[in-house]
Amino acid sequence: MPHSTSHLDTSPKADLVLLSWLAQLPKVELHLHLEGSLEPQMLFDLAVRNQVTLPYQNVKEVKQAFQFTQLQDFLDIYYQAATVLVTEQDFYDLTWAYLLKCKEQNVLHVEPFFDPQTHTERGISFATVINGIDRALEDSEEKLGISSELIMCFLRHLDEESAFATLILAMDHLDKLKGVGLDSSELGHPPEKFSRVFAKARELGLLTVAHAGEEGPADYIWTAINDLKVSRVDHGVNAIHDPALIKYLQESQIPLTVCPLSNTKLKVFDDMNQHNILDLLSLGICVTVNSDDPSYFGGYMTENFEALIVSLDMTQEQMIKLVENSITASFCCQQRKQQLSSALRDYI
């Protein structure tokens, strides 16, 4: 390995060696909201392009607004910013900008989320949204070497009827989708609220994931598993409070797609040095590192790994295991998983 120490040295030189090694470490991202990758400059550029009035005068004001005490603070700005996304080209440009960042950080496979209801509720057609995203994802495989699987999320603060209507719209585009997910405000909206929608999605051949155990309790993780039959749990950090659930996750190896910077930005943990991702890893849980909404939370994949190095003294071996978990937990075909594993082995 380029960096041979087991633990992060305190010397600046050792720090730089490990961080340099991390920069080109092959990575896989499984929990990323495309709308959450809308950078302040693109937000302004699209607002001008589409003649959308924003409550901010400049990029600096946008960044100042990105201070949150809870999930809802973030969501209020998130949905407001999404109004600048209007045309198919807007959705292409948004997705392509994220993929270029992935290329820069050596992220080889991505499974991004998108929230169609955020757009259809304001009159943007489902086809406009998904066609722009899909075109960028197709181009990324050919031009950037980044493979992908796309996941459509339902907004849990809306009702079951809206989710079903969205699933009906998606039925003409199943060839572009790998699965469905569940996001937005967790508290007060348990996973079982959408059991019938998820059952229908599974009948259509779609895999299922769901946000659970971020702000919500460990019980929400249980219902995501038992009622929604999820293949992965997004976030899931509150599993640590339920010994029976920890045992189940150890045995089942249902993955948790954890987002460290997001968790601290939204005060799930007050400080990164309190984060439990490495505790979960040491317990044999299939945890993975992801960036969630990187424009809002201060970093993409590399920055999330860096935060764990700096605050939790994460080792090189732990980083490798986290990437291995992401490959295992991904929805790509077995051949692609083997290619990703080979790229990781060749690097280390």
Euclidean distance between CA atoms 171 and 317, whole angstroms: 43
Q: Which two tokens stand for residue 120?
A: 């259809």
Binding-site residue set for Zn(2+): 31, 33, 211, 292
Euclidean distance between CA atoms 199 and 201, whole angstroms: 5
Binding-site residue set: 31, 33, 211, 292-293
Residue type present at position 190: P
CB of 343 within 8 A of CB of 38?
A: no
CA nearest 290: which of 214, 180, 347, 223?
214
User: Which residues are within 8 A (CB) of 323 and not within 5 positions of it... i.e. 6 or more apart?
Assistant: 25, 26, 27, 28, 344
Binding-site residue set for substrate: 293
CB of 133 within 8 A of CB of 34?
A: yes
CA 286 to chain centre: 16
Whether residue 111 lies in the annotated active site: no
With H, G, I as helix, E, B as strand and everything else as coil, classify residue 147: strand
Euclidean distance between CA atoms 168 and 22, whole angstroms: 42
Identify each DSSP E strand in the chain by its residue range: 27-29, 107-110, 113-114, 147-148, 151-155, 179-183, 207-212, 232-235, 256-258, 287-289
Q: Can you give the length of the chain in residues?
A: 348
Single out the catalytic residue among 35, 149, 214, 215. Answer: 214
Q: Which two tokens stand for residue 90?
A: 């807007």
- The residues annotated with a catalytic role in the active site are 214
